[in-house]
């Protein structure tokens, strides 16, 4: 069996009046992610981690931000296509560990929903999708609420 680990990171600027999508769900907040797609930093970080682990480059290579067909796309579609890419190379997901860095709003009550949506999208067990949330103690672009960041580590294997 071949085992590989991947790491992903994504950031998006936050703006008033934009929708805030994280982990495949819309969060009610006065600010949202600015991006070419729906701006879901968690899904983008997971996609990058999966693609990297399978040595398939990165999310921007497969889903460029200058492709008009991807404008406003639901990031769950990008995640499903990423799963297809790694599956076509013979890989399956072992588990995902991720962290969202966001000053506001607090996410603890919606994390179980995110886990379910992501597990369903990837067709894996909910126990294999860990999501944590943190602030940056009001430091940096996350702390000033100018942006949001997400980190993901994945384990994939090929039998």
Residue stretches of the annotated binding site for a divalent metal cation: 10, 12, 44
Q: 3-state class of 96 per DSSP? A: strand
Q: What is the token pair recorded at 15? A: 């703006």
In the annotated binding site, the residues are 10-12, 36-37, 44, 58-60, 63-67, 134-137, 141
Cα–Cα distance, 139 to 90 (Å, whole number)? 42
Q: What is the token pair recorded at 116? A: 């379910």
Q: What is the token pair recorded at 23? A: 């982990």
Q: 3-state class of 14 per DSSP? A: strand
Give, as one character, the DSSP assignment of residue 43.
H
Give the contacts of 151 (CB within 8 A, at least 6 positions apart). 7, 8, 9, 45, 98, 99, 101
């Amino acid at each position: 069996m071949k085992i590989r680990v991947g790491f992903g990171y994504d950031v998006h600027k936050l703006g008033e009046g934009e929708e805030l999508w994280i982990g495949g769900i819309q969060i009610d907040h006065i600010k949202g992610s600015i991006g070419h797609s729906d701006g879901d930093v968690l899904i983008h970080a997971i996609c990058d981690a999966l693609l990297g682990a399978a040595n398939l480059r990165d999310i921007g290579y497969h889903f460029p931000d200058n492709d008009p067909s991807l404008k406003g796309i639901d990031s769950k579609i990008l995640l499903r296509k990423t799963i297809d890419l790694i599956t076509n190379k013979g890989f399956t997901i072992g588990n995902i560990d991720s962290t969202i860095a966001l000053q506001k709003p607090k996410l603890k009550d919606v994390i179980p929903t995110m886990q379910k949506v992501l597990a369903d999208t990837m067709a894996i067990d909910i126990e294999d999708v860990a999501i944590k949330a943190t602030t940056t103690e009001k430091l940096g672009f996350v702390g000033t609420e100018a942006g949001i960041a997400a980190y993901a580590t994945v384990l994939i294997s090929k039998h």
